[in-house]
Chain A
Amino acid sequence: MDLRAFVASAAACALLVLTGCATKPQLPVSMNSTTLSAKGTRIGVAMTALPKVDTSFPGAGCLLCIATASMANSSLTAYTKTLNHEDLPKLKQAVADLIRKRGAEPVVIAEDLKLDAFSDRPASAEGNFARKDYSPMLKKYGIDKLLLIDIRELGFERTYSAYVPTSDAKAVLRGSAALIDLKTHALEWYQPLAIVRASDGAWDEPPKFPGLSNAYFQVIELSKDEVLKPLKP
């Protein structure tokens, strides 16, 4: 193989690697003021299972790096396991109460939604559409729209560059909240949740980590605000 062909192949491979798996991130979609006020509209309110409160060390890429980061933060990880979800499980009910105040009819879906159980939808180049096909919910619960809260990460995060920490540990909550029209799959509201709070003052205070614990409860409150505020009359 001559050099030109080799370079072209390498460039093609690089392009495939860089773009092949890339998914365009869903941008926020603001809620129309009339979305929740349509009388007779039945809106299902569901959540995915809340994640285990845990620590994460992004950037500690190699196996030895992960082991080093885990050992260095073992007391924080042990403490993290004692934290609860506070009142996040009640978020569905709070959402339903606000929907009722706005005029629509809420249907609280008690079961934790498993997103993997829904088939993927083909990516749409234009517009804001759900990436999963939630239409089976339409018949199962007799609802027109689905308000889905998906919290994927909750706990503490400390970034690393290989073996070396590059930040203090911080409380973090990541996920999204969305309102999906089950007939058209259109996203009528999409709110990414990416809340990070640092400890006020020192963070490394074992065994109870009061500064980080305070930040943890702050991210829970802030995430509730981000979900509930757009729904308020």
Chain B
Amino acid sequence: MTRRGTLTARGRRSRPAPFLTTALLAGVTGACLAQAGVQRAPDSPATPAAVPARVWVLRVPSVEKVVFRGAVSHDAAGMGTGSMMYPAPNAIGLLAAIVTHGLVSDRRRQNQKNEAQANADLVLQPFAPVLGSFTNQRLFEVGQQRLSAAHPARLLGAAETPGTDWLVEAAPVFSMTQDRRALVLDNAVRIFAPGSTTVAYAQTVRVISAPLSLPAPAPVAGAASEPTQVVDDGTVTLWMATQGQRLVDESAALFGESLDIVLDESVAPATENKSPHQTFRYAEGGNERMERAQLVSERCGRRLIRTLRGWLMSVPAGSDASGEACAARATPPSQ
């Protein structure tokens, strides 16, 4: 692939001599183009030298099960502004009282957050039969098949060595929105050059699935008289179809997309993109969310943005966030 000639700064330091030469050439060429105000076309070769295709190895984490949790909001967290009368026989007593108050307050705030997370996790209850047997091994196997053809990869056990290939370590954590209409993946990815134990590239990427399209709600007899009963609005049925295959497939698709994004970024960082910061709106399940970020790219009904933390986010873009829109764009009209 042509874009593999461009390397990250960290990648350059840790690569073997042939890669280093190529990388330096690419760096010098890029710097010259930048100084001349010329932008390289995305598909034009970065260097005249042919660069061997990278083969990636994905290390399956030693943690057996895929981490899922309920999406939680801490907007209302906190314990108000209650006043406090400190027992203060002397200065040391006052200090001890304040320290104790601080420790107790910290503990209570942490408990409050834990409780909020535990309540949010209740949204996953209907999916327990699937999630209980959903292992990282399976996620990585299905996710590997979802990787684009530009990123040939093989799986590696937790204790195996990668040999002469580039090692990719990932720590995926999935969240389900409280309306059960979307999955959110946070994936912290680290890449190691062949034979190196130093991280060559690290990036955290968040991928948000397009919201589930729900069938028209059917009237539920007796629902009003049983408010505590969990009523499936269709989302559980959709995710759990064919023994939860949809849930597994969607998770793997998000995982594959996150790896594609990071691997692309690791070989061709979008540093040329100097788009202004703006507040992007996107659908997260049935709710609208916002993120202050820079636009990196937009295609196939999805938008890739760089957040203020420097993380990458792939979010549904508007109403055409469907596979159909992507397919339509991928197939140009005949001339």
A196 within 8 A of partner (CB): yes
For chain B, residues 27 to 83, give those with C-beta under 8 angstroms from any C-beta of chain A: 73-83
Of B97-105, B133-141, B157-165, B228-236, the one with at least 4 CB within 8 A of chain A: B97-105
Contact A170 B75 (CB under 8 A): yes
> What's the nearest-Cβ distance from chain B to residue A200, in Å?
9
Contact A163 B101 (CB under 8 A): yes
Contact A58 B73 (CB under 8 A): no
Q: Mark A161-205, 1 if CB is under 8 A from B, else 0.
A: 111111110100000000000000000000000001110000001
Q: Mark B84-100, 1 if CB is under 8 A from A, else 0.
A: 10100000000000100
Chain B residue at minimal CB-CB distance from A195: B75
Contact A167 B79 (CB under 8 A): yes
A59 within 8 A of partner (CB): yes
Bound Cα distance A26, B106 (Å):
35
Contact B307 A214 (CB under 8 A): yes
Contact B308 A166 (CB under 8 A): no
> What's the nearest-Cβ distance from chain A to residue B48, in Å?
39
Known: A214-B292, A214-B307. A161 touches B83 (CB 8 A): yes
Q: How many residues of A contact B (CB 8 A)?
A: 29
**Which of A58, A167, A211, A214 is close to B77, meaning CB atoms less than 8 Å apart?**
A167
Contact A210 B309 (CB under 8 A): yes
A77 within 8 A of partner (CB): no
B327 within 8 A of partner (CB): no
Contact B78 A168 (CB under 8 A): yes
Contact B101 A167 (CB under 8 A): no
Known: A161-B101, A198-B77, A210-B309. A166 touches B109 (CB 8 A): yes
B1 within 8 A of partner (CB): no
Bound Cα distance A61, B80 (Å):
13
A217 within 8 A of partner (CB): yes
Known: A164-B105, A214-B307, A221-B279. A159 touches B292 (CB 8 A): no
Chain A residue at minimal CB-CB distance from B105: A164
A218 within 8 A of partner (CB): yes
Q: Which of chain B's residues have a CB closer than 8 A to the CB of A52?
A: none
Bound Cα distance A198, B81 (Å):
17
Chain A residue at minimal CB-CB distance from B76: A196
Contact A162 B84 (CB under 8 A): yes
Q: Which of chain B's residues have a CB closer than 8 A to the CB of A159?
A: 78-81
Known: A161-B105, A165-B105, A214-B291. A196 touches B75 (CB 8 A): yes
> What's the nearest-Cβ distance from chain A to residue B111, in Å?
13
Q: Is chain A's binding surface mostly helix, strand, loop or mixed?
A: mixed
A160 within 8 A of partner (CB): yes
Chain A residue at minimal CB-CB distance from B102: A164
> What's the nearest-Cβ distance from chain A to residue B208, in Å?
12
**Which of B76, B105, B292, B307 is close to A166, meaning CB atoms less than 8 Å apart?**
B105
Contact A61 B82 (CB under 8 A): no
Q: Mark B148-174, 1 if CB is under 8 A from A, else 0.
A: 000000000000000000000000000
A213 within 8 A of partner (CB): yes
Bound Cα distance A159, B102 (Å):
13
Q: Which of chain B's residues have a CB closer than 8 A to the CB of A211?
A: 308-309
A208 within 8 A of partner (CB): yes
Q: Which of chain A's residues have a CB closer than 8 A to the CB of B73?
A: 198
**Which of B78, B84, B309 is close to A167, meaning CB atoms less than 8 Å apart?**
B78
Bound Cα distance A213, B279 (Å):
11
Chain A residue at minimal CB-CB distance from B108: A166
Contact B75 A163 (CB under 8 A): no
Chain B residue at minimal CB-CB distance from A201: B309
Known: A161-B101, A217-B292. A198 touches B79 (CB 8 A): no
Bound Cα distance A213, B81 (Å):
24
B290 within 8 A of partner (CB): yes
**Which of B77, B78, B279 is close to A217, meaning CB atoms less than 8 Å apart?**
B279
> What's the nearest-Cβ distance from chain A to residue B116, in Å?
11
Bound Cα distance A107, B291 (Å):
33
Chain B residue at minimal CB-CB distance from A160: B81
Q: Which of chain A's residues have a CB closer than 8 A to the CB of B290?
A: 217-218, 221-222
> What's the nearest-Cβ distance from chain B to residue A168, in Å?
7
Q: Which of chain B's residues have a CB closer than 8 A to the CB of A198?
A: 73-75, 77
Q: Which of chain B's residues have a CB closer than 8 A to the CB of A221?
A: 279, 281, 290
> What's the nearest-Cβ distance from chain B to residue A49, in Å?
23
Bound Cα distance A20, B172 (Å):
57
For chain B, residues 266 to 302, give those with C-beta under 8 angstroms from any C-beta of chain A: 279, 281, 290-292
Q: List 29 A-B contacts (CB under 8 A).
A: A59-B83, A159-B78, A159-B80, A161-B79, A161-B81, A161-B82, A161-B101, A162-B86, A162-B98, A162-B101, A163-B101, A165-B105, A166-B81, A166-B82, A166-B105, A167-B78, A170-B78, A196-B76, A197-B75, A208-B308, A210-B309, A213-B292, A213-B308, A217-B279, A217-B290, A218-B292, A220-B279, A221-B279, A222-B290
Given contacts A166-B81, A198-B73, 16 further A-B contacts (CB under 8 A): A58-B81, A59-B83, A159-B78, A161-B82, A161-B84, A161-B101, A161-B105, A164-B101, A166-B78, A166-B80, A170-B78, A197-B75, A198-B74, A211-B309, A220-B279, A221-B279
4 closest cross-chain pairs (CB), A and B: A167-B78, A59-B81, A210-B308, A166-B79
